[in-house]
Amino acid sequence: MTLTGAEIFIECLKREGVKTVFALPGGVVLKIFDMLHQQKDLEVILTRHEQGAGHMAEGYAKATGKAGVCLVTSGPGMTNVITALADAYMDSVPLVCFSGQVPTSLIGNDAFQEADNVGLSRPCTKYNFLVKDVNDLASTIKEAFYIATTGRPGPVLVDIPKDVSMAKAEFIYPNSVSIRGYNPTYEGNKWQIKQAAEAIMKAKQPILYVGGGVVFSGASQELLELAEMTQIPVDMTLMGLGVFPGEHPLSLGMLGMHGTYHANMAMHYSDLVIAVGARFDDRVTGKVSEFCPHAKVIHIDIDPTSIRKNIHVDVPIVGDCKTVLRGLIQVLRATVNGEQKELRKPWWDQIHQWQQAHPLTYQQEKHGPIKPQQVVKRLYELTKDRDPIVSTDVGQHQMWAAQYFKLAKPNRWLTSGGLGTMGFGFPAAMGAQAAFRDRLVLCIAGDGSVQMNMQEMATAVVSKLPVKIIILNNRFHGMVRQWQDLFYEGRYASSYLDTTPDFVKLAEAYGAVGLRADKLANLDEVLKQALATEGPVIVDVPTYPFENCYPMIPAGGCNHEMILEDSPELKKKQSEGKHVTPENKDTVLTA
Amino acid sequence: MAYRDGRIESDARSVPSHKPSVISSSNYMEHIISITVENKFGVLSRIAGLFSGRGFNIESLSVAPTLDPSMSQMTIVTSGDERIIEQILKQLNKLIDVIKVIDLNEMEFVSRETAIIKVHTKDADRAEALRVVDIFRANVIDSTPTTYTIEVSGDPKKIEAIINLLQPLGIKELVRTGRVAVAREPIRQAVAQTKQNVRE
């Protein structure tokens, strides 16, 4: 069967089981778009910006566990999608990005809309290809999907010059892939697994520290089994949320910079850390030299480079989380007796003490301004029966969502962890919605970050992606303001957003529904109305602008030394009403 | 020190002391890493990008095709403490175009570097230059009335030594290949650190 490059592209995607392509056209990819236009198997979602396409593909991938696919043009199309590639690389999201390239004869000539796509994306992709010959296209696409979805997943770029998409070749789709330099290890070393089991049996104060790797490995069932069998408390990273039921008695919630008090204390005072699919990020470890001073460390990860990168590891196990956990459960089952609860009692008593001493807390006055935590809490309570998918942007609202939205299952949590990309949430939610048209998809956003990809509202309306955006609107880059209050003597340098758009009118301008909850008494009603609305909705919730997110471990601080509330000086300043308003901003901001 | 072919060579395991490269901790050690890679365009920049992106040090790097034209052999001289070297080896292994990584410091190895040195030579200096060439078993590979071009190969200490001796004559140009190295054939068993066992 002789096909053009563009037709080969479509055939390959179909065989990889792709249903949706997030795309934005341009000169050198027109042949591919022309072919996409003439077929019905692949849905093309036309985005308004290539960054949006990239994040949508990420959202799709995180919600489905399959590779997300986006298609962009050369030059600016490619440079625009870089942020999404870098984001996917940091968070190990399987993504295959196709970029157009100028014809091979023009590469290197500074042609119109030419960019060195392979060079640009090299440091932020797992691998990338430039296809110079149409005869290599099918096998390259096969390899791209294989690399993106196996081992530690990640983004892969395939750069297709215009003449390659036009030229014809015999279409042969390879059945399998073999790359001699790429053989991920899935089976954990048996001896090491035995060592780990022995360490678990000996430990008095063990803790499970689980991350995004468990989500991608699909190992939440194994994790649950292991935790219940051994009665070990579970700390989740930001990326791991949902992989263990948030309301399970063994769950301590999120750990790290804004993790719960008891999650961080348990980590710090543990004598055995069992890290599964997590990478000891600096937002988790705090000061590395004082991280878990009493603990031995077991580290299970599919990526050998994650092991001993930041932290000394006593029992390293390279392998797939699911496979290794199964092995571990098998070994433990032979030795664990029914007295685990009794055995762990002192440890759990201690944890409960911590929990009672400093639970997550905030003060909501009945007639005062709406507290952002209250919005997340109510949203959670109103939607938890509908098993929603929740995306967030980056900042204070993200941390509150992580603290108060207690997800029960994996693949429901879409957030940008490693790169911390503002503007991620809305397009990611749309990507998930494109995969699951009937599910409830929520995007908890801040007024700062949501504006970074607001243009995609047009995509949501046109492509009928009924995402519900809840904006915690404090008219600040809230996390920046918090740091300025804590570490920069309250000088709000470029964190006050002054006039934000009227989000209700903005939604309406796009043909979506805009709602506002201006006081606490309206909050539930407005949220319910949004949830009952068919299409995309923006709910604008003006919140108390000076609320700070606690607990907080200052950057480079030690995990057991958390800031738990505003200092008296800060409280005084706020109670005196030295708030920034358009009227007084010149005097207050310079004070 | 070991004698071979009548010449003194530094012990393969000892650390050449000629150039202490960015030492911040006493555990910093020079390592020679031998890498077999796919012979494709872009591979060199992946390796170079890995080192620059993660702040690893490259002291020298040499690349050439192997007997199998689909593969190339790289020799990288780098330095770092145990943790850094472990990361370098793992990160290199993680690159998809990398087929095999060997840390030659884990075993006995021999290494060589070639330098081509163009020396100014006036009347009396010409004899002195030739004497130095003779002592170091170097070769004169080009000659003009005012210059000699000298080729010398050996371990880095030897290259440094000949440079030091030729410097008073006036070195006009100097190019060095960077080191290439190969493991000594073990008498009993191979201990090559292949991709598999570097992953523990």
Q: Which residues of B touch A182 (CB under 8 A)?
A: 96
Indicate whether A17 pLDDT > 80: yes
Contacts of residue A239, defined as CB under 8 A and 6 or more positions apart, other chains included, come to A91, A211, A212, A215, A278, A415, A417, A418
Better pLDDT: B26 or A508: A508
The pLDDT of residue A582 is above 60:
no
d(Cα B144, Cα B125) in Å, to the nearest integer? Answer: 13
Q: What is the mean pLDDT of residues B130-146?
A: 95
Pairwise CB contact (< 8 Å): A304 & B38: no
Give which of B67, B63, B74 is closest to B99, Cα–Cα.
B74
Residue of B nearest to A192 (CA): B200
Element spanning B61, H or E: strand B60-65
Residue ranges of alpha helices (H) inside A167-219 are 190-202, 212-217
Q: How many Å apart are CA A95 and CA A147, to the nearest integer?
A: 10
Q: Which residue has the higher pLDDT, A581 or A449?
A: A449
Residue B53, min C-alpha distance to chain A (Å) = 8
Q: Enter the tokens of residue A1.
A: 């069967």
Query: Do A137 and A11 belong together in one domain?
Result: yes
Q: What is the CATH number of the domain that holds A281?
A: 3.40.50.1220
Yes or no, beta carbons of A123 and B38 under 8 Å apart: no
Which stretches does DSSP call E strand in A233-343?
234-236, 251-254, 272-276, 296-301, 315-318
- Contact criterion met (CB below 8 Å) for A214 and A226: no
B184 part of contact set with chain A, CB < 8 Å: no
Confirm if A540 and A515 have CB atoms less than 8 A apart: yes
Distance from CA of B76 to the nearest CA of A (A): 18
Domain that holds residue A306: 190-357
Give yes or no for residue A145 having a pLDDT over 60: yes
What is the pLDDT, as a whole number, of residue B123? 83
Cβ neighbours of B92 in A, within 8 Å: none
Segment (H or E) for A164: helix A162-166
The strands making up A95-101's β-sheet, listed across from edge to edge, are A43-46, A20-23, A68-72, A95-101, A155-161, A127-130
CB contact under 8 A, A123 and B83: no
Tell me what the mean pLDDT of segment A260-266 comes to. Answer: 97
pLDDT tier at B122, thresholds 50, 70, 90: confident
Q: Looking at residue A499, what is its pLDDT?
A: 80
Tally of structural domains, chain A: 3
The pLDDT tens digits for A272-294 are 999 999 999 999 998 999 999 99
pLDDT for res A575: 78
Find the CB nearest B199 among A122, A126, A185.
Answer: A185
| CA distance to A196, A237, A265, A288, per residue, from A285 (Å) | 21, 11, 12, 6
CB contact under 8 A, A309 and B87: yes
Closest Cα of chain A to B77: distance in Å?
20
Q: d(Cα A359, Cα A259) in Å, to the nearest integer?
A: 11
Instruction: Specify the residue for token string 């032979």.
Output: A334
In a domain? residue A289: yes
pLDDT at B20: 34
Q: What is the pLDDT of residues A221-260, one digit of tens each?
A: 999 999 999 999 999 999 999 999 999 999 999 999 999 9
d(CA A548, CA A542): 15
Contact at 8 Å (CB) between A199 and A298?
yes
By Cβ distance, the residue of B91, B93, B99 closest to A180 is B99
Instruction: Give the one of B37, B87, B96 whose C-beta lies nearest to A179's C-beta.
Output: B96
Residues of A noted as catalytic: 50, 112-113, 162, 479
Contact A324, A188 (CB under 8 A): yes
Q: Which helix (H) or strand (E) holds B33?
A: strand B29-38
Read off the pLDDT band of B3 (50, 70, 90).
Answer: very low
Is residue A362 included in any domain, yes or no? no
Task: Based on the fold, state whether residues A252 and A162 are members of the same structural domain.
Answer: no
Mean pLDDT of chain A: 95
Alpha-carbon distance A125 to A565, whole Å? 40
Q: Do A423 and A556 lie in a common domain?
A: yes
ipTM rounded to 2 decimals: 0.91
Please confirm whether the linkage preceding A551 is cis (ω < 30° from 0). yes
> Do the chains contact at A304 and B90, CB–CB below 8 Å?
yes
Q: A579 and A460, same structural domain? A: yes
* pLDDT tens digits, B164-176: 999 999 999 999 9
pLDDT at B189: 58
Contact in structure between A119 and B53 (CB atoms under 8 Å): no
Task: For residue B66, give how far its alpha carbon lies from the nearest alpha carbon of chain A (Å).
Answer: 16
Torsion of CA A473, A478, A481, A485, to 10 degrees: 100
Contact B174, B117 (CB under 8 A): yes
Residue A92: inside a domain:
yes
Residue A347: both structure tokens together:
């440890």
Asked whether residue A344 falls in the same domain as residue A403, the answer is: no
The residue count for chain A: 591
Q: Where residue A523 sits, what CATH number does that domain have?
A: 3.40.50.970
| CB within 8 Å: A304 and B93 | yes
- Of the residues A170, A201, A219, the one at which a domain ends: A170
Read off the amino acid at residue A413: W
Give the nearest partner residue to B49 out of A122, A180, A183, using CB atoms: A122
Q: Encoding tokens for residue A446?
A: 């801040």
Least Cα separation, residue B91 to chain A (angstroms): 6
**Pair (A430, A559) in one structural domain:** yes
Same domain, residue pair A527 and A478: yes
Whether B86 contacts chain A with CB within 8 A:
yes
Domains for chain B: give ranges and CATH numbers.
Answer: 2-108 (3.30.70.260), 110-180 (3.30.70.1150)
For residue A88, tell me if it sits in a domain: yes
Query: Which residues does chain B have within 8 Å of residue A129's beta carbon, measured at their own beta carbons?
Result: none
Whether the pLDDT of residue B4 is over 50: the answer is no
Q: How far apart are CA A275 and CA A316, in angstroms?
A: 10
The Cα–Cα gap between A392 and A426 comes to 7
* Judgement on whether residues A159 and A229 belong to the same structural domain of the protein: no
- A535 and A431 part of one domain: yes
8 Å CB contact of B90 and A305: yes
What pLDDT, in 10s, does the model give residues A21-80?
999 999 999 999 999 999 999 999 999 999 999 999 999 999 999 999 999 999 999 999
The secondary structure of B107-168, three-state, reads CCEEEEEEEEEEEECCHHHHHHHHHHHHHCCCEEEEEECCEEEEEEEECHHHHHHHHHHHHH
